[in-house]
Amino acid sequence: MERAEEGIYTALLGIFAMSYDPYGHDRVEHTSAKVAAMDTLRKEAKEHHHNRRGGAAPRATVARANVYICKNCEWTGKEPNIQTWNEAGSTWRDESGQERHTPPHSGSMKKCPECDKVVKTRKEWDSDDAWAKWAPRVTFVVLVTMVAVVLSSLI
């Protein structure tokens, strides 16, 4: 009897598995409400991901991304002051008589119009904050591990 029931369950599982198409190839008939619900969810997810890939970012998001923030005086705005520099290269001799050379370099920096400190976008500040938070921790863990390895090899 147990074998007959096992055969029925296997047959039923095979019927449901064959009627369910995980790739959504034009399935009009559904064998159960669960399969129909899964098919609907799959279509919604496909549309959601298609819309996210194909469309541009909303204007409000773009506008917020271009806002500069000063952490010193809490100034926010879209037009910070820009400080630029253009240094010529130079050659000189140090105390020991060895010749030293500085290559030419140039650049620019966005500054706060109120307090003359550096301003950045929210994304830039978040990146800098994450780096400042995790770099010392990782360095500490690596150094402690190296000390432990050296001490264990000495013992």
Q: What is the pLDDT of residues 103-143, one digit of tens each?
A: 888 888 999 999 999 999 999 999 888 888 999 999 999 99
Cβ contacts of residue 31 below 8 Å, gap of 6+?
A: 15, 16, 19, 20
Per DSSP, 104 falls in state: -
65 close to 47: Cβ distance less than 8 angstroms: no
Per-residue pLDDT, averaged over 60-83, amounts to 82
The alpha-carbon radius of gyration of the chain (Å, integer) is: 32
pLDDT at 2: 47
For the chain, the average pLDDT equals 78
The predicted pLDDT at position 29 comes to 53
What mean pLDDT is predicted for residues 93-98?
Answer: 89
pLDDT of residue 85: 83
Cβ-count burial 107-122 (b if 16+ within 10 Å, e if not): eeebbbeeeeebbbee
Structure confidence by residue, pLDDT tens digits, 13-43: 555 555 555 555 555 555 677 777 778 878 7
Over residues 48-69, mean pLDDT: 62
Give the per-residue pLDDT at 13.
56
* Res 91 pLDDT > 80: yes
What ranges do the domains of the chain cover?
2-54, 60-154
Here the tokens at position 77 are 């705005």
| pTM > 0.85: yes or no | no
Beta bridge partners of 118: 111
First to last CA, the chain: 68
The reported pLDDT for the residue numbered 1 is: 46
Q: What is the pLDDT of residue 92?
A: 83
